[in-house]
Amino acid sequence: MRTNNIKFLFCLAITVLLTLGLSISLQSLLAAWAPPAASPPACALGSPGCDEPLNISNTAQMKAGMLTLNTGGNVNGLIVDQGNVGIGENSPSASLHVSSLTASTLFRVDDSGAGDTSPFIVDGDGNVGIGIDSPAAKLHIVGTAGVDGIIFPDGTFQTTAGGAGGSLWTESGSDIYYDSGNVGIGTAAPGAPLQIGSYTWLGRGASWANPTLSITSAGDRIVFYGPTGTYKTAIG
């Protein structure tokens, strides 16, 4: 009789322990997951658990050292679907906010091809360079193929300046003038203040049916010629 009581008590104890264990396990499975409430504890770099102190949490964390992404060959290494990203900026005010305490290059795009000339760069002075890594103006474009310049939405374009730039013409209100040297149209070596092709225009005049008109000086006279060089009239 006593032996049966001992067996009964032993079986009852085992049943209670199993029931308690299953209950605790079931509660653990059903419990809602809660993220960590604080950053990992500080410790010396190189110590176990200190090389990669990042976890899933809403709490701000800091990673001392390099952080490498996309080592598993995934297409997307990092996605930020909400909020702003700051590089050198603790309070970014844009989707991507790059800041520097020194006058250093803020943004640079390179390729790995031969003869790379820095396709795009924004330096510390706010200058933008396309095809040059040291832009000397707010927008500095350098190219070697095709027509160098800026194309506007209406289809027109403005070529870039060569050499030191500048202009020989002077503006005065709505007029422009050239007060030294000769001007050639259709000729690279004008021999008069205004020379059109092989014809020279020294003053004002009117043309006939064929608009090509040559006005030249002959001693103390002004001689008018037609487009074929035939003498027409003279003044003086």
Cβ–Cβ under 8 Å, residues 223 and 234:
yes
* Percent with pLDDT over 90 in the chain: 0
pLDDT recorded at residue 2: 58
Alpha-carbon distance 124 to 118, whole Å?
16
The tokens for 173 are 């209100």
Residue 121: burial class (beta carbons within 10 Å; 0-12, 13-18, 19+): buried
Average confidence score pLDDT of the chain: 68
133-161 per-position pLDDT tens digit:
888 888 887 765 445 566 665 666 666 55
pLDDT (average), residues 181-204: 68
Q: What is the pTM of this model?
A: 0.37
Buried b (16+ CB within 10 A) or exposed e, 221-236: ebbbbeeeeeeeeeee
* Distance separating alpha carbons of residues 225 and 236, to the nearest angstrom: 15
pLDDT tens digits, residue range 84-134?
888 888 888 888 888 888 778 888 887 776 666 667 888 888 888 887 888
67 vs 110, higher pLDDT: 110
Tens-digit pLDDT profile for residues 41-53: 666 655 655 555 5
Cα(153)–Cα(147) distance, integer angstroms: 16
